[in-house]
Structure 1
Amino acid sequence: MQQDLSTKTAAVIGAGPAGLMAAEVLAKAGVQVTVYDAKPSVGRKFLMAGKSGLNLTMDAPLDQFVPHYAEASDTLRPILDGFGPAAVQDWARGLGQEVFTGSSGRVFPRAMKASPLLRAWLARLNDLGVQLQTRWRWIGWDGAALTFDHGRVTADVTILALGGASWARLGSDGAWADILQGQDIAVAPFGAANVGLRVDWSVHMAPHFGQPVKAVAWNAGDTTSRGEAILSAKGLEGGGIYSIARAVREGTALAVDLMPDQSVSQVAERLAKKRGKESHANHIRKTLKLEPLKLALAQEWARPLPQDPQALARVLKALPVAHAGLRPMDEAISTSGGLRFDALDPHLMLNARPGTFAAGEMLDWEAPTGGYLITACMATGRWAAQGAVAHLHAAA
């Protein structure tokens, strides 16, 4: 028979999806839980993510879902096996929020917003006795005690769920990395993930700002994305670009196939038709039925366009994207890098600080948009909390 944990305390630092899920699991186990967050309100990045439709997860079998976490797949597999796409959907329904699956397999609440779900979640946590302390910024340890800008706190177990290093205004500023490294705890360098490209456009592109680039294929080495991108004064944004951001960050050249459903020879054959008195640009547009935006991109990045049909077809099928790198990390949806898994045991407890666990985006994993980020944050929050509960029982 396991010990009653009602006299045990837990401090959860960070009130995003990982921290709130950890708080829920601990409270259900009977632990007295307090969640601390540096901002005036909780779940700020979660709410921002839901402004255009909260993508909770991807409706896919685990064997198709897990590989999207790349190098971290093996580490995260048992964690996601315990709380994967199906469990996320059941959890949302349990909070009274029905979900639906879109044509791309992405799962959304019927309300499409994050706020109803967050309100229901906070109500559940309140019913479980979870205490929330906002405007409490964690600044490190003083021996066994946690130190905040408001004072010292002691707890039997701690969950760190401090987020990555993007969107600092919403709370994820990565400042915790210096605290951990000061304790000789290994942290991998941060990098921008799921982020747009900086492009220094010529004045000729201004009329196209705000338009979507559709039906193309973005190619960076072995990485290909068929997603859309939006042209802006700053560059290119959108799912099509986010999917190849990692390859670009790692130095791979980027090209775009403006006609991905046709071969080079098919494009060349159409371009070889007689053009008469038409200008070269009009001939390209009419024979290929190429949208003005795609033609503008071709002119922007490959002017003067080749006259030879075969050469021009090769350009249009692999147009080099002239960019100035990724947008700043603070504009990224998520970040790579973070607390290394070799600094943690299999239950996500810090090897250097027994009783302290970590979860969420602060861990060293990376994934694309599409529900993978929120799912892994919630799953690791649950896993870390389960580890904390087991630690409390073992210490009894």
Structure 2
Amino acid sequence: MTTTQTHVAIIGAGPAGLMAAEVLAQGGACVTVYDAMASAGRKFLMAGRGGLNLTHSEPLPEFMARYRDAAPMLKAAIDAFPPHALRAWSEALGEPTFVGTSGRVFPKAFKASPLLRAWLRRLDAGGVRFAFRHRWSGWDEAGQLLFHATDGQQAIEAKATVLALGGASWPRLGSDGGWVDLLGAKGIAISTLRPANSGFTVAWSEVFRDRFEGQPLKGVALTIGAHTVRGEAMITRSGIEGGAIYALSAELREAVLGLGQARLMIALRPDLDAAALTTRLSGTRGKQSLANFLRKAAQVSPVGIGLMQEAAIASGRPLASFSPADLANLINAIPVQLTGVAAIDRAISTAGGITFEELDEHFMLRRVPGVFAAGEMLDWEAPTGGYLLQASFATGRAAGQGVLRWLSQSPS
């Protein structure tokens, strides 16, 4: 085993770890970033494949509400580095941003790679060092960090450490949740890692699955209990996913995990009430098939009609036997039984993690002085829309500032 020293060790080269490294380097610390992968920001790059959604432009009170129960614990970090500051940071790296029609904020390049390259150049110029293919395996008896590296096991003596190892979604990109047992052995309370912003399984009929796999549901309203979200969803071979599903994923997941299933209600024409739909459907159908009649009279899409057929089959009544009023009611209240949660390794993000009670106000682990934590490995979740990256950047920055404070108060 070889032993080396660094002033501050950052473990994890995602957005939270890189932001902590930037803050520390600017504060005069000697920083080394360790990562098990061969390069930085693997999941960050994946997030940018469909257009990198950095943050959101909505007012901060509404923005903070997206973090649900964790909002009070994240508030100080996001207040100190809010969406407008993240946009200014991106522009300073040569990547100006714009606000999309949904209020989401994107770099004008619309992808992650130019921003990441510019960021890594700035970190390199600031003296930040990188050690890739270094998988963290805990601490030795002397408190040194242990890593499995390509040239054998290494022990690293660091004056402070920032853990930014992510959750457990997309493990092939580096976030595999392997840190849970390492921190659990220190007595640190960790809320069970669970899929967030994930799809759900549905026992579709073979006919529906074969015909509508990959078809979008546009402009729908999805409801579980008292929670309703407008947006889009996508039929998959095994169930349903998409933006509106992700926005309800916490409620849907907890219902499935608690009860074994969840009842999702889908409104295909949420802007029309039952009376208006009944009037449209009370006209003469003539020789039209029921599907054509629904499509023309109520502007229901083929996949929507398929969902109505699925609900009718489940009720034991043929759809053709429904009255205009029955059809109108079904259009905006299609019950879909969710039978399970998609696997965590395919989820966009992770719920659960280090509980905030284990952290002080500077994101330091109370049980392990000098060790800080940031990003998705903390116990919070949020929907897609820029909230995930915003909290990762902000907590990484807060952890970096916490380390600087710690170092200034610690004996040299």
| TM-score, structure 1 as length reference | 0.95
Alpha-carbon deviation of 1:338? 0.2
Query: Which 5+ residue runs of structure 1 have no aligned equivalent?
Result: 1-6
- Given the alignment of the two structures, is residue 233 of structure 1 paired with residue 243 of structure 2, yes or no? no
Partner Cα separation in structure 1 for residue 59 and residue 249 of structure 2 = 25
- Given the alignment of the two structures, is residue 56 of structure 1 paired with residue 71 of structure 2, yes or no? no
Q: How many residues align?
A: 390
Deviations 1:126-148 (A, max 9, x none): 00111100110001111311111
The range that moved more, 39-48 or 271-280, is: 271-280
- Given the alignment of the two structures, is residue 364 of structure 1 paired with residue 374 of structure 2, yes or no? no
Partner Cα separation in structure 2 for residue 61 and residue 289 of structure 1 = 35
Deviations 1:227-248 (A, max 9, x none): 2122232322211211111111
Secondary structure at 2:404's aligned position in 1?
helix
Match of 2:364 among 349, 357, 361: 349
Alpha-carbon deviation of 1:279? 4.0
Moved over 6 A (4+): none
Partner Cα separation in structure 2 for residue 47 and residue 285 of structure 1 = 40
Alpha-carbon deviation of 1:265? 1.7
Secondary structure at 1:322's aligned position in 2?
strand
Query: Which 5+ residue runs of structure 2 have no aligned equivalent?
Result: 256-261
2:6–2:157: 8 Å Cα contact kept in structure 1? no
Provide the aligned C-alpha RMSD in A: 1.5
Secondary structure at 2:353's aligned position in 1?
strand
Q: Percent identity?
A: 51
2:165–2:377: 8 Å Cα contact kept in structure 1? yes
Partner Cα separation in structure 1 for residue 183 and residue 231 of structure 2 = 37
Cross-structure match for 1:146: 145
Secondary structure at 1:112's aligned position in 2?
coil
Cross-structure match for 1:128: 126
Deviations 1:3-26 (A, max 9, x none): xxxx97000000000000000001
Cross-structure match for 1:387: 402
Partner Cα separation in structure 2 for residue 373 and residue 289 of structure 1 = 35
Match of 1:185 among 188, 208, 212: 188
Partner Cα separation in structure 2 for residue 289 and residue 8 of structure 1 = 64
Give 1:243-322 correspondences, 5 Å limit: 243-251=247-255, 252-303=262-313, 304-305=318-319, 306-322=321-337
Cross-structure match for 2:259: none
Q: If each structure's strand is expressed as a fraction of its own residues, which one has the higher value?
A: 2
Give 1:81-96 correspondences, 5 Å limit: 81-96=79-94
The range that moved more, 183-192 or 277-286, is: 277-286
Cross-structure match for 2:70: 72
Partner Cα separation in structure 1 for residue 289 and residue 117 of structure 2 = 60
Partner Cα separation in structure 2 for residue 133 and residue 68 of structure 1 = 35
Alpha-carbon deviation of 1:328? 0.6
Secondary structure at 2:67's aligned position in 1?
helix
Alpha-carbon deviation of 1:285? 2.9
Give 1:4-15 correspondences, 5 Å limit: 9-15=7-13
Say if 1:96 and 1:360 are closer, same or farther in 2 by CA, change over 3 A. same
Secondary structure at 1:225's aligned position in 2?
strand
Cross-structure match for 2:97: 99
Secondary structure at 1:103's aligned position in 2?
coil
Secondary structure at 1:268's aligned position in 2?
helix
Secondary structure at 1:215's aligned position in 2?
strand
Partner Cα separation in structure 2 for residue 386 and residue 8 of structure 1 = 18
1:165–1:335: 8 Å Cα contact kept in structure 2? yes
Secondary structure at 1:350's aligned position in 2?
coil
Partner Cα separation in structure 2 for residue 325 and residue 241 of structure 1 = 13
Partner Cα separation in structure 1 for residue 295 and residue 99 of structure 2 = 37
The range that moved more, 203-212 or 237-246, is: 203-212
